[in-house]
Each structure stands twice: as C-alpha cells, then as structure tokens.
Chains A and B, each alone.
Chain A
Amino acid sequence: MRTADLELAARCRAGDADAFEELYRQHARRLFSLVVRMVGSADEAEDLLQEVFLQAHRKLAGFRGESTLGTWLYRLTMNHCLDHLRGRQAKMSRATDSLDDEESAEPMAPAPAVPAAISRMDLEKAIASLPPGSRAAFLLHDVEGFEHREIAGILGVSEGTSKSQVHKARLKLRALLRR
C-alpha cells in the first residue's frame, strides 16, 4: 500500500498528469462526500475540493509516505474545511458556536430512545447542526470508519480529544434524533 502510494506520489511529482488524475479518481468521491457534510453545500464543496487538490499538487513534494496518501489527503481536506468554516464564522456575527465548543448536549431528563431505524435525511440534518470540531471527528469516525489514532493525525489533536469529540457528537445527535 505504502509502496504503491510512494510510486503514485513520485509519478505525480514527475509531472505525470495521468497519475494525478488517478489520485483524484481514487479519493474524490469519499472526500467530496466528507466536504459536503462538513460545509453543508455541494457548490461550496466543489470549490473547496478543487482548492484541496490544487494544494495537494503543490505539497506532494513533501509527501514522505509516513501515512497513506488517502490519510494525507484527508488531513489537507479537513484543515481546509475547518479554515473555511472559521472564515465563514468570521463573516457572520459572533453568535455561532466556536470550533471548540465545549457545550454538552445531553439533556438531564430521561427521554425516549433513538429510533432503531434512523432515517438518512434526519441523520444528515442532525450532523449538519453539530459544531465543526465534533462534526469533523464524528464524520471521520462513524461515517468514514477511521480509528481515533488516525483521526488524531488527520485533525492534529490527541487521541483523547478525538474520543471526546466523537462522544460529544453522539450525545448531541442522540438528543436531536430522539423525540
């Protein structure tokens, strides 16, 4: 896997346009889905992913194969999404929650359980309402299937922070989805 990644990266660095397109085809679908869920708009996601791949093209020289190319691309993508959301937040009034929102969403009173069959639309809507930090961790863990160790590397946080963000996200989603 790593050898294949290094070979592909080397071909991209050597200016092989087919290799870079191959890299795009391998990862674009999952990354696009992730970005749509992070920013809530397919149009914005398209612009952001274009910037991510442009940045990847510039930075491939620095790829040393310590992680997989996929993980490396996820790191670029999430950095870009979070920067974008910070910028959006700066343009809006300061009323929105911060990226490091510490709020716990768990209601104190007992409430009905989350329905056994959660509709996709309800879940997508609930995910969109999460603060960006915990949304990022939840998407990477529960949707994309990364382990906390990998998420720590992608988001530049500790493994404990990743676990804590996923826990907060699950608590908030639980509160939103049970009625």
Chain B
Amino acid sequence: MNCESYEDLLGDYVDGARATDRPGDERLGAFERHLAGCARCQALVADFTSLRDAASTLGDHAPPQRLWTRIAASIEEEQRRPWWRPLGHAVPAWAAVAAAAALVLLIGGATWLAWRHEPAQAPQQAVSAPTEPEAIPVEQHYEAAIAGLQQLADSQNASLDPETRAVLKENLAVLDRAISESRAALADEPENALAQASLLDALDTKVALLQDTVALAADEGNPSDEAAAAAKELN
C-alpha cells in the first residue's frame, strides 16, 4: 500500500483515531505500521497536527451590534410584504407578477411556499386554494413550481448575455446533481432526515435561482416578446 491509499486514515489519525481504540479496524492498524516507517507520512501528520491546533485556537470575529437591529427590522418589513415577493432585491413588477402567477397556477406549491415564507399569516391565504396540499408530497409542489419557472426562465434566456447564461446553466446543473444525489440517498434510506433536508434545500435553491433568472433577465432590458407573452398567458 502506498501513502495515497491511506489519505483518509491519515486525517483520522490526526483527528485522534488509534488502532488500540478500534481493535477491528485492520486498515488503521496497517496505516500505523506504515506510518512508523514512512518519513513523508510522519511529516504530514506533524504538520497537519500543527495546522489543526492553530486553527482550533483562531478567535471569533464579533458581529457589530447593529446587525440584530437590521435583522429585526427586515423581519418586520417582510411580515408586511406580500407573500409572493420574498426576495431581498427589487424585482420588476411584471417579473414578480409572472413568477407569482406561475406559482399560483402550477402549485399547491404556492401553498407550500407561502407557508414557508409567511408561517404566521400565509397559511390562511393558501388554505383557501382549491387543492388539498396536505395530500400532495412537498417534493411535487416544488417540481410543479420549478417546471413553471423553468418555462418562464427559458422564454427569457435570450435577453441574458451568453456568459451569464452559461453560468446559470452550470449552477442549475450543480443543483440538479445535488437533487439526484439526494434522491439516490433517499432511494436507499427513505427515512434519512439529512437526505430529505438536502433534497428540499436543493429544490428550494433551484426555485430561488430560477426566480433570480427571471429577475435578472428583466434587469438586462425590457422583457422579450416571448417572456411578455408567457407572463400574459400565465395571468
């Protein structure tokens, strides 16, 4: 076995793992025997230990006192804002309306998103929708929202510069990978809470990215005819 094959164990060793504490762990035992005769690994262990010790004693950066005041004010402001404008930046009215329309049309997810964004008040608005949200898995609400927003974003893609389009496409691909990985983990362990949370986070982020795409396209100039038509259709 060469040094590289022990990479994970070298980290474990620096973190305090020892073969004497893990009698059944033959790889760790083998690594310790390798370590005894390998100057390279000994140097890595010494340096990584110094790094770890120094990192663990780095001090905190204190947040300024005004931060809590800002947070409290922004929560108060959000509680007064319509549920379909949760984003922190200004979104052109037509885009906000189009995005909201997409959500309303396509989801019970509107119900779910409203519930997520306005836990105190929104459920009353959302419950009046004719659907029965509690009977539909949360993931389906997201999928419906994503499908609608994706359609809207696709229709406006042309107004973005090619580099931005490429970056957005790349970010969506990263999110799609995260969604696939979470689903694969859930296929193995349906009750895995971390995988469930990761999946919902990734879906949530994808919705936010698509909303941002719609807003960004509008910022690049007037909405394209196709986008305007899509917005009209959604209304």
Residues of A within 8 A of B (CB): 13, 15, 17, 20-21, 24-25, 28-30, 32-33, 36-37, 42, 45-46, 49-51, 53-54, 57-62, 64, 66-67, 75, 79, 83, 86, 89-90, 94, 99, 113-116, 118, 120, 123-124, 127, 138, 142-143, 145, 152-153, 156, 160, 163-164, 166-167, 170, 173-174, 177-178
A58→B58 contact, CB < 8 A: no
Chain A contact residues: helix, strand, loop or mixed: helix
Instruction: Confirm or deny: B151 has a beta carbon within 8 angstroms of a beta carbon on chain A.
Output: no
A residues within 8 A CB of B62? Answer: 29, 32
Provide the bound-state CA to CA distance between A114 and B50, in Å.
8
With A61-B116, A156-B198, A160-B8 as known contacts, state yes or no: A29 contacts B72, CB within 8 Å: no
Starting from the known contacts A33-B61, A45-B61, A67-B194, 9 additional A-B residue pairs (CB-CB under 8 Å) come to A29-B63, A54-B75, A57-B78, A58-B116, A60-B119, A90-B163, A116-B50, A123-B55, A170-B52
Kindly specify which of B29-37, B140-148, B200-208, B218-226 makes contact with the partner chain: B200-208
Cα A105 to Cα B43 in complex, Å, equals 16
A57 in contact with B75 given A163-B8, A167-B10 (CB within 8 Å)? yes
| Chain A residues whose CB sits within 8 angstroms of the CB of B1 once the complex forms | none
Q: Determine if B7 is an interface residue (Cβ-Cβ < 8 Å).
A: yes
For B43-73 the 0/1 string (1 means CB < 8 A from A) is: 1101110111011101111111001101110
- What is the minimal beta-carbon distance from A44 to any residue of chain B, in angstroms? 12
What A residues does B167 contact at CB under 8 A? 89-90
B interface bracket (residues with beta carbon within 8 Å of A) = 35 or more
B61 to A59, Cβ gap below 8 A? no
A62 and B200 contact, Cβ closer than 8 Å, known pairs A166-B11, A174-B48 = yes
Query: In the complex the two chains form, what is the Cα distance from A41 to B67 in whole Å?
Result: 15
Q: Using CB atoms, name the residue of chain B closest to A106.
A: B44
Which secondary structure dominates chain B's binding surface? helix
Q: List 27 A-B contacts (CB under 8 A).
A: A20-B75, A28-B63, A32-B62, A32-B63, A33-B59, A33-B60, A42-B61, A46-B67, A58-B117, A58-B118, A61-B119, A79-B201, A90-B171, A94-B163, A113-B43, A113-B46, A113-B47, A114-B46, A116-B50, A123-B58, A127-B55, A142-B51, A143-B55, A152-B194, A153-B194, A160-B8, A163-B7
Q: If the complex has contacts A62-B116, A90-B167, are A156 and B178 also in contact, measured as CB distance less than 8 A?
A: yes
Interface residues of B (CB under 8 A from A): 7-8, 10-12, 43-44, 46-48, 50-52, 54-56, 58-64, 67-68, 70-72, 74-75, 78, 86, 88, 115-120, 163-164, 167-168, 171, 174, 178, 181-182, 193-194, 197-198, 200-202, 205
Option from B46, B59, B64, B75 in Cβ contact (under 8 Å) with A120: B59
Given known pairs A54-B74, A153-B194, A156-B182, the reply for A36 and B61 (CB within 8 Å) is: yes
Give A147 Cβ to nearest chain B Cβ, in Å: 8
Taken together as a complex, chains A and B put the C-alpha atoms of A160 and B7 apart, in Å, by: 11
Residues of chain B lying within 8 A (CB to CB) of residue A143: 55-56, 58
Q: How many cross-chain pairs have Cβ atoms below 8 Å apart between A and B?
A: 148
A15 to B78, CA, bound (A): 13
For B174, the chain A residues whose CB sits under 8 A away are 86, 99
Q: How far is the CA of A116 from the CA of B61 in the complex (A)?
A: 24
Shortest Cβ gap from A98 to chain B (Å)? 9
The reply to whether A118 and B54 form a contact with Cβ atoms under 8 Å apart is: yes
Residues of A close to B10: CB separation below 8 A: 167
Instruction: Report, nearest first, the 3 A-B pairs whose CB atoms are least far apart.
Output: A66-B193, A142-B55, A32-B63
| Chain A residues whose CB sits within 8 angstroms of the CB of B205 once the complex forms | 79, 83
Min CB distance, A172 to chain B, in Å? 10
